[in-house]
Amino acid sequence: MNDEIVSKNRIEFLTDGIFAVVMTLLVLDISVPQISSHYAIGNVAAGTELVKRLFDLWPKMLSFVISFVILAIYWVAHHRQFHYIKHSNRGLIWINMMFLMAICLIPFSTSLLGEYRELEMSILVYGGNSIVISSLLYAQWRYVTTSHHGRLLYENLNPISKTTLSRRTLLGIVVYLIATGFSSVYTQLSPFPFVLVLIPAFLPNKTIQRITFRRSHEKMR
């Protein structure tokens, strides 16, 4: 019996809207630099001062770029999951809501990292935020692929595709843990290690299968 109370399309519309807002909010943390009032506009010294102030913004700019791309990865991963989902139920709706709540925290954790990039706590908050999001994304996929809730998926879903998508998300969590741990130990390098999180997103499915126990895939054939 189908207990769907909200169509999967409504969930996708809400998700797309929240992602659009959150990705836009990221740039609001980057303020236009102010130069000293005693510099005359057009003065060479004023230009030099502005260049210096712009350069000082690089931690926030880098945090913005990394977070924007990470959000894009999350959006693609969410879309990939819902491509295979046919119906929704209460459990799926609330897991997705928790996922979106964690997504909404990204502008805050990004701002914290950009402002205090060499403090361990800001790194842990940013990394923890990303780990929670990835974990909820994994939990959502596990929920819809369990035998009891498998009816939420399209019947023709390839078992290999199901497992590959699950392991791709797991690999992302592992990379987030590594990046967070490395950044918290070598705080002077923050936020550069978080660039590592882009790797799993761009790996082809065959590579994911090869590095995540390929034999199990072969048994499924």
Q: 74 pLDDT exceeds 70?
A: yes
Q: 211 pLDDT exceeds 70?
A: no
* 171 against 35, higher pLDDT: 171
What mean pLDDT do residues 135-158 have? 84
7 φ/ψ angles, rounded to the nearest 5 degrees: -65, 155
Per-residue pLDDT band for 195 (boundaries 50, 70, 90) equals confident
Structure tokens at 68: 């924007």
**d(C-alpha 198, C-alpha 66), whole Å:** 9
- List the chain domain ranges: 8-220
pLDDT at res. 75:
95
**d(C-alpha 79, C-alpha 11), whole Å:** 11
* Of the candidates 99, 71, 88, the residue with the CA atom closest to the CA atom of residue 9: 88
Model confidence pLDDT, tens digit, residues 101-131? 999 999 999 999 888 888 999 999 999 999 9
What mean pLDDT do residues 191-210 have? 74
Alpha-carbon dihedral angle through residues 204, 207, 211, 212, given to the nearest 10 degrees: 50
What mean pLDDT do residues 66-73 have? 92
What mean pLDDT do residues 137-148 have? 88
Average pLDDT along the chain: 83
Q: With H, G, I as helix, E, B as strand and everything else as coil, classify residue 166.
A: helix
